[in-house]
Chain A
Amino acid sequence: MSEHKNTAPGSKSVGGSPKKFHDLSVAVITKRDDHGENLIREIQKTRAKVQHIWPIPEEIPTDFDIVFCELVDDLPSRFKGVPGSAHVTFIVVIPANGTMNQKVLENSVPHAVIHLPCIADEVLSAMIVARSHFQYERRLRQRIEKLDDNLRSMKTIERAKVIMMQTKNLNEEEAYKQLRRRAMQRRVTIGALASSIVDSQELLG
């Protein structure tokens, strides 16, 4: 079997590649001065759809793919829920001549940071890195959620098993077998079935 390696130029598209940006919606929350205009133009070069927002809203919107927002002192308190709960790719913009409060920057948990005035390619590189981190974080969260789910299910199944053993006079192995069979018949997960058994038992008191 021969080993072929043909790298077609321009076909690279892994992770957050530039060619994907033309479908993204981007919010830019900055003053619309020369630096702000320049930033918007740079983002538009990636062919993403840009919406400018100013002044900074009480709550940082999350219905965009990427949000650029100027660093202000109360930025961390303008997030819905917990900052950095990974609803949106978030890039902090440090204004020109502004002071950079390190603590505020840290608490704003951005996926990337850019400084105004932005230089060519800085915006694109920040978008690529931020998008990639955001998506990776989201995948890891999914994985953790799944594992948490498994742990919860184990506990619930354990309780359902005991209920089955007591009410139907089954041994442990038979109880598990029945749980598996019923879950399959009803086309639900064994965790979901166990949880409805536990719930109905609790209703009966």
Chain B
Amino acid sequence: MLVKEAKTEEPWRVGVLFSHSGFMAVIEDTQLRGTLTAIDEINDNGGINGRPIEPVIYDPGSETAAFGRHANRMMVEDGISTIFGCYTSSSRKSVLPVVERLNGLLWYPTLYEGFEFSPNIIYTGAGPNQNSVELCRYLMEHYGKRFYFIGSDYVYPRMSNKIMWEFVRTNGGEVVGEQYLNLRAKPKDFIPVMKDIKETQPDVIFSTVVGEATSTLYQAYMDCGFDPKVMPIASLTTTEAEISDMGFDVGEGHITAAPYFDGLESEANSTFSARYKKRYGADEPTNMCLEAAYFQVHMFAKALEETNSLDTDLLRPTILGSEFEAPQGKISINQGCSHADLWTRIGKVNRGGRFDIMYESKSRVSADPYLIGYSRSIAF
């Protein structure tokens, strides 16, 4: 079945769903910016087949249920089928039934815990085999085998820690503590955790704290006089955005695994960074979530140029298997699982609030959201 689109200059309308208010805005706002940067870039170059992309933007305000409600409103009232959005796994899970039932297409630009496959989602952030595996190896090699887990209390940290726990254990390590804090945790909530860390003396703190509470955690760590050289906080979610929020001195020396860091040397990244910084300020850092939000719009645009239709049934097969020269390097959308094949990198925060690259994969790492090519038995 072919959907014919008449010759028209009517814009291509797409949905954009990131929080610009509430406790997740610190990172989701950068994803919104990344999305808009790409849309502007495309429109400045004449749009897609002569038609501009028009974003319809709603603010779910860091409230999980609002994501599902807004996605529904976009699809039902606004007639939109392609949506860019979501940071937390809970928000994605809130949108998932909407796009699955109404046949929408959600582009999800955030690392997550894996173990999901929706025919209506394109996943462009890292899964556990693209960040946790190498991070675990690196930490054990450089810092030691005693891990302390601290996370925000929702689905991603608990799932992610379960996976990390398996990696740690099968490599002869041990988890000496595990704590979960409310997403809106205040400084005082971190005091007992820091006390516990002082007592258990782990080699590494593995953090899956997200949003505003990230700064609070790193600040509490600093206030206790801990030394990142001997016991760093390692994370999959602390990006340049959170470091900039907490202050460079607070973040210095800590570790993050990500497909992308600000300042990577590549032509695609220079173009992207220059464009972003021109729009949002020279001091505004880029980050992995922003980068994924940016390149996924370009991948969508490439597919749309070919299909000339927003019909999900036409777009999806065009997107699967496609490649793109992203700021992080050449990436592709894995044909089999609609997750992106991405680069693995490990960075350490320097004095300037940017990451020095400590490890980089030789090529992009194939997406394996169910970890079927890895030895650890993940029990749920």
Contacts and interface: CB of A to CB of B under 8 A. Distances in A.
Are A and B interaction partners? yes
Contacts of B366: 180, 183-184, 190
A154 B372 contact: yes
A172 B375 CA distance: 7
Interface in A1-47: 1-8, 11-15, 20, 23-24
Nearest to B129: A180
A173 interface: yes
A176 interface: yes
Contacts of B375: 161, 172-173, 175-176
A8 B79 contact: yes
Interface in A126-169: 135-136, 139-140, 142-143, 146-147, 150, 153-154, 157, 161
Interface of A is mostly: helix
Interface string B1-33: 111100000000100000010000000000010
Contacts of B59: 1, 3
A111 B281 CA distance: 55
B249 to A, nearest CB: 30
Contact of B337 (A20, A146, A180): A146
Interface residues of B, number: 38
B280 interface: no
Nearest to A2: B57
A179 B56 contact: no
A23 B146 CA distance: 62
B104 interface: yes
A157 B77 CA distance: 46
A23 B76 contact: no
B79 A11 contact: yes
B1 A176 contact: no
Interface residues of A, number: 41
B373 A183 contact: yes
A1 to B, nearest CB: 5
Interface stretch (B114-122, B225-233, B287-295): B114-122
Contact of A139 (B58, B78, B80, B120): B120
Nearest to B336: A189
Nearest to A176: B375
- Max count, chain B CB within 10 A of own CB: residue among A4, A14, A176, A184: A14
A143 to B, nearest CB: 5
B65 interface: no
A154 B80 CA distance: 38
Interface stretch (B95-103, B147-155, B180-188, B266-274): B95-103
Nearest to A150: B370
Interface of B: 1-4, 13, 20, 32, 56-59, 75-81, 100-104, 117-120, 313, 336-337, 363, 366, 368, 370, 372-375
29 contacts: A1-B20, A3-B57, A3-B58, A4-B57, A5-B77, A6-B78, A7-B77, A11-B79, A12-B77, A12-B79, A14-B75, A14-B79, A14-B102, A14-B103, A15-B102, A20-B3, A23-B3, A65-B1, A146-B117, A146-B337, A150-B370, A154-B370, A172-B375, A173-B375, A183-B366, A190-B366, A190-B368, A190-B372, A190-B373
